Structure 1
Amino acid sequence: MANTGDQPWQRVPIDPQSVDAPLSRAAVFLVVTVSDTPEALATAKDVLSGMTDLVKTVGFRDLGARLSCNVGIGFDLWRRLTDSPPPRELHPFREIVGPVHTAVSTPGDLLFHIRAERGDFTFEFERQLLDGLGDAVQVVDEVTGFRYFDARDLLGFVDGTANPAGGDMAGATTVGDEDPEHAGGSYVVVQKYLHDLSSWNRLPVPSQEGVIGRTKVENIELPDAEHGQKSHKTLATIVDETGVEHEILRDNMPFGRPGQAEFGTYFIGYSRALWVIERMLERMFVGDPEGSYDRILDFSTAATGSTFFAPTRSFLESLGD
């Protein structure tokens, strides 16, 4: 076959990962760093190129478990892993310092977002995945999430109500012609929030509803405040200068260990444009207007913060060439 001069990432067809998979009953969020040695990088490439086969290997036992795993690659690893230019907006998570609260930036080369209807499947997949990676990686964060009643967080409110649906999903989450070399991929931001449930539960329900912007039981959207403090729902809604609203896909999951007084929400947002999530976080932590930050942060502390890009399946497979 004649050499066209094209690089592997320029020849592969668009084949998105399972970003649009429905909310699962179980999930694992695994963030690792990759050692800076040729052997470690070779191992990482080999494992990433075989992700589709690993999903099949574990998932065949019960196809109804709907096992999937999305892989996100951080900016620093991207430059070490491949000669492909990084996605246009990809960069390390930028710390956001507000008047009271901070969105911290924490390390992360690879994100594995593992989902299934059964917790034993997410467990087995993670076990085999880490066996394959071996000492090439170091685990920096590992969270096991679960569906809580009717998709509520541990604060008691339904989470993810504003997610795009149907035909709007791809437009909100998938890079297109604006970055053709990375079309079909998605930007991913993750944060682990730890809740002070004791303080939250002392807050009267009407006050909780004012913080969130929805009723607690019925999940009915409340009107936006015309003056003063804006709700979490309002601050997390991004409208550009032309009046166009930009959506992201949230696949948040609650997690916790009551014996350790640990209760939290793992935020994961997929977006076609990284600036959308960044502006959302700036509005939450800095405030709109500045100083009027999201009051949910008085009860929920961001313990981690990392940014990744989830390339196409074909891109991952090409790493093994």
Structure 2
Amino acid sequence: MPEQSPEPQAVVAPVTRSTIFIVATLAADDDGLDTVRAWCADVAALVRSVGKRVPDGNLSCVCGFGSGAWDRLFGAPRPAELHPFREFGAGDRRAIATPGDLLLHIRADRMDLCFELATLLVGRLGDAVSVVDEVHGFRYFDLRSMVGFVDGTENPAGREALEFTLVDDDPEFINGSYVLVQKYLHDMAGWNALPVETQERIIGRTKLADIELDEAVKPTSSHSSLTTLEEDGREIKILRDNMPFGRPGSGEFGTYFIGYARSPAPIEQMLENMFVGRPPGNYDRLLDFSHAVTGGLFFVPSADLLEALADRSPQAADADTEEAAAPALAPVAVPAPAPASQDGSLSIGSLKGTPQYE
């Protein structure tokens, strides 16, 4: 029978009403690394335990690891395209990198489910991590972003969503995914002062009906123009699950961008187009009203691999890699085998192997 494909994490999950995004860093010393590795085996069970309380609540959690964290926690092999977040732009218009080793993307149709699961997951980690960013997002009317336009209209769906989000060319990490996150804060006073027609030209779609503007009138600097990528005549897509957030009393209005893809390359190209411009200087005018304050890139292992990582250590993984890469030794003389014992055994001891993650 063919080997069963690893089960992916809930990357392609239903759009929900509530979300909690948590980004954490590992403790500076190595004492907590065993705690984090052991925690990897607990994530799925905690999701099941909380989700069973409200079966129709659509609770899910996606867990990802940053480049430096992967090395400290798991060593080699590592995902082929995992690297630190790449910054783009300059001055006030810049996609910045901020600290982040662990990402939790918790989704449900009720915030109490998100809150309960986040409490349990972070509680299990204890002092092994420090939470550096936590955002509670909410669905805004008919999937509107904070700036009032429908978000995620061009998301892939069904089999196409799996095709564009799940890794299929990195044998050790089949059905994993890359995820890039950014927190944007908006100048809503400035944005709302613009005529609707001007807003539509900046976004590239109509505000009420969510219809893409005709190419004859849509500026090449529009958000939709700069985030549309084609290769060999086919559009390359990513899966967005952005969420609005905010604190009106503090004047905070934001959008949490989160994009999943089978490679970070298309998301990074979109960011370069937005912040630098295509061509350079023809940048996304939405950035005149939106400011990126965080940025991180993470790898999401398959659900099966996430659980298996609990039993992996960087020292053991690196030793296995070095052994596999070592040159073959010259053959040595092997003494003749001892005669079989009178009871019929071959006197070679146990044949039971020790299973290990490779």
TM over 0.5: yes
1:25-57: CA deviations, max 9, x gaps?
Answer: 000000000114333111111112211001011
TM-score computed with the length of structure 2 as normaliser: 0.84
Which of these two proteins has the greater Rg computed from alpha carbons?
A: 2
Deviation, structure 1 residue 97: 1.9
Deviation, structure 1 residue 59: 1.1
Residue 39 of structure 2 aligns with which residue? 47
What are the residue-to-residue correspondences of 1:153-192 with 2, within 5 Å?
Answer: 153-176=145-168, 178-192=169-183
What are the residue-to-residue correspondences of 1:1-321 with 2, within 5 Å?
Answer: 13-98=5-90, 101-176=93-168, 178-224=169-215, 229-240=220-231, 242-321=232-311
Rounded to whole Å, the distance in 2 between the matches of 1:170 and 1:49 is 24
List runs of 5+ in structure 1 lacking aligned partners.
1-10
1:156 match: secondary structure? coil
1:296 match: secondary structure? helix
List runs of 5+ in structure 2 lacking aligned partners.
312-358
The question of whether the paired residues in 2 share the 8 Å contact of 1:105 and 1:306 is answered with: yes
Q: Is the deviation greater in 207-216 or in 28-37?
A: 28-37
2:103 match: secondary structure? strand
The question of whether the paired residues in 2 share the 8 Å contact of 1:99 and 1:286 is answered with: no
Deviation, structure 1 residue 114: 0.2
Deviation, structure 1 residue 227: 8.8
The question of whether the paired residues in 1 share the 8 Å contact of 2:39 and 2:124 is answered with: yes
Distance change (3 Å), C-alpha of 1:95 and 1:12: farther
**AA aligned opposite 1:294:** D
1:268 match: secondary structure? strand
**AA aligned opposite 1:96:** F
1:142 match: secondary structure? strand
User: What CA RMSD, in Å, does the superposition of the two structures yield over aligned residues?
Assistant: 1.5
2:279 match: secondary structure? coil
The question of whether the paired residues in 2 share the 8 Å contact of 1:30 and 1:139 is answered with: yes
Rounded to whole Å, the distance in 2 between the matches of 1:97 and 1:216 is 28
Rounded to whole Å, the distance in 1 between the matches of 2:171 and 2:68 is 21
The question of whether the paired residues in 2 share the 8 Å contact of 1:98 and 1:291 is answered with: no
**AA aligned opposite 1:62:** V
Equivalenced residue count is 309
1:108 match: secondary structure? coil
1:98-136: CA deviations, max 9, x gaps?
Answer: 475100000100000000000001011111111111111
Rounded to whole Å, the distance in 1 between the matches of 2:53 and 2:106 is 16
1:304 match: secondary structure? coil
Rounded to whole Å, the distance in 1 between the matches of 2:302 and 2:76 is 13
The question of whether the paired residues in 2 share the 8 Å contact of 1:224 and 1:234 is answered with: no
The question of whether the paired residues in 2 share the 8 Å contact of 1:101 and 1:297 is answered with: yes
1:46 match: secondary structure? helix
Rounded to whole Å, the distance in 2 between the matches of 1:207 and 1:228 is 11
Rounded to whole Å, the distance in 2 between the matches of 1:149 and 1:228 is 27
The question of whether the paired residues in 1 share the 8 Å contact of 2:228 and 2:235 is answered with: yes
